[in-house]
């Protein structure tokens, strides 16, 4: 049996995922990547009408099912206005702040398929011109996209095929370090998508028989709140979101362990499933932290809100500076992948 997890393989998959632009609403290419990956493993997949991908591995028990989910949609933006000064005004997709994208390289994806590069800047960037360059508020009014093209007015922009409603994606700037860090935009939640893809690969290659039929939903609307609230088979008993652990002041989550969420903005997660995840971690020498995420909602909480009668949980690698300049460590990826592996092989809880 090969060493598992192979963290370098997982990181390689994550690097490919974050490099595919996929703001919510513009996820066809990254879903295709995941589908191609799974079909090469002869895994049964199907698309839902929202554009997400569902993979299913049969289990010994086909009366009670499990579902795991991770999401490929990311933060991004849309063109809100084609400005008379030859620049673009943005409308944000997802929950983040304008200051987190100031100075970021971006791509504008036109409806015809052409892609243009640009930079997201304050209108008052030059300190040689604007006295209030450092004090002006970072907001929709003051921030704009400088397009890498010879454009000086709205007509020039429209001649390129750029129009209101075009998607804008952010350069992930993915890097890995010799001491095990991976830093990139969109680790939320492509780090966990990479983990699930690698998990499925191992289960298929080693012909592991799962105790329960298990579905893996690669969702594509999580950042706007409803990626995983549908297409849940009625046989599903346990539903585990594999997303990210949020770090910051007062948080116990770090970049080296798997974070097990006990409560987020939607309320507590299922106590019995939480205890089972802790039990599996301790039994298998998996480093973990319990935590509460005060301003967070997951696909699992969306499923509960939509009325599904399920046992719900949430885990993930610890991500520093979430929805901004994200980073995690290979130790966190390893611990998360191990916990998910042991979870899918475990007995269901008594509920």
Catalytic residue annotation: 222
Looking up tokens 């930079």 gives 119
Q: Which residues face 145 on adjacent strands?
A: 88, 120
Distance CA 5, CA 336 (A): 10
Q: Which two tokens stand for residue 19?
A: 């490099």
d(CA 114, CA 159): 12
Residues 6+ positions from 296 with CB-CB distance below 8 Å: 246, 261, 264, 265
The number of CA neighbours under 13 Å toward the Cβ of 279 is 11
Half-sphere exposure of 33 (CA within 13 A, CB side): 19
Q: Other CB atoms closer than 10 Å to residue 89's CB: what's the count?
A: 18
- Please report, in angstroms and rounded to a whole number, the separation of the first and last CA atoms in the chain: 35
Output the DSSP codes for 228-277.
SSS---TTEEEEEEE--EE-STT----SSSEEEEEEETTEEPPHHHHHHH
* Closest by CA position to 228, among listed 54, 8, 106: 54
Q: Which two tokens stand for residue 156?
A: 């020039």
Decide: 71 and 31 in contact? Cβ < 8 Å.
Answer: no
């Amino acid at each position: 049996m090969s060493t598992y997890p192979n963290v370098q393989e997982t990181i390689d998959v994550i690097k490919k995922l974050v490099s595919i632009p996929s703001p919510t609403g513009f996820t066809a290419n990254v879903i295709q990547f995941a589908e191609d990956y799974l079909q090469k493993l002869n895994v049964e997949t199907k698309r839902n009408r929202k554009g997400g991908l569902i993979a299913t591995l049969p289990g010994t028990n086909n009366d009670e099912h499990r579902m795991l989910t991770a999401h490929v949609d990311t933060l991004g933006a849309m063109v809100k206005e084609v400005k008379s000064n030859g620049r673009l005004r943005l409308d944000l997709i997802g929950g983040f702040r304008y200051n987190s994208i100031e100075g970021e390289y971006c791509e504008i994806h036109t409806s015809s398929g052409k892609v243009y590069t640009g930079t997201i800047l304050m209108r008052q960037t030059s300190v040689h011109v604007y006295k209030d360059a450092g004090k002006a508020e970072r907001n929709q009014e003051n921030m704009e996209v400088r397009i890498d093209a010879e454009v000086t007015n709205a007509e020039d922009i429209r001649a390129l095929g750029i129009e209101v409603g075009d998607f804008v994606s952010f350069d992930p700037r993915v890097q890995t370090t010799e001491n095990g860090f991976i830093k990139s935009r969109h680790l939320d939640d492509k780090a966990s998508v990479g983990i699930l893809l690698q998990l499925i690969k191992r289960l298929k290659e080693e012909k592991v028989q799962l105790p329960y039929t298990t579905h893996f939903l690669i969702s594509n609307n999580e950042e706007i709140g409803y990626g995983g609230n549908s297409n849940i088979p009625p046989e599903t008993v346990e539903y585990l979101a594999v997303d990210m652990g949020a770090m910051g002041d007062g948080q116990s989550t770090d970049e080296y362990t798997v974070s097990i969420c006990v409560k987020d903005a939607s309320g507590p997660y299922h106590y019995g499933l939480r205890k089972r995840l802790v039990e599996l971690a301790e039994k298998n020498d998996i480093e973990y932290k319990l935590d509460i995420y005060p301003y967070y909602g997951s696909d699992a909480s969306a499923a509960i809100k939509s009325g599904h009668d399920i046992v719900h949980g949430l885990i993930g690698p610890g991500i520093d500076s979430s929805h901004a300049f994200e980073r995690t460590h290979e130790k966190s990826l390893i611990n998360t992948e191990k916990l998910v592996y042991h979870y899918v092989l475990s007995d269901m809880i008594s509920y």
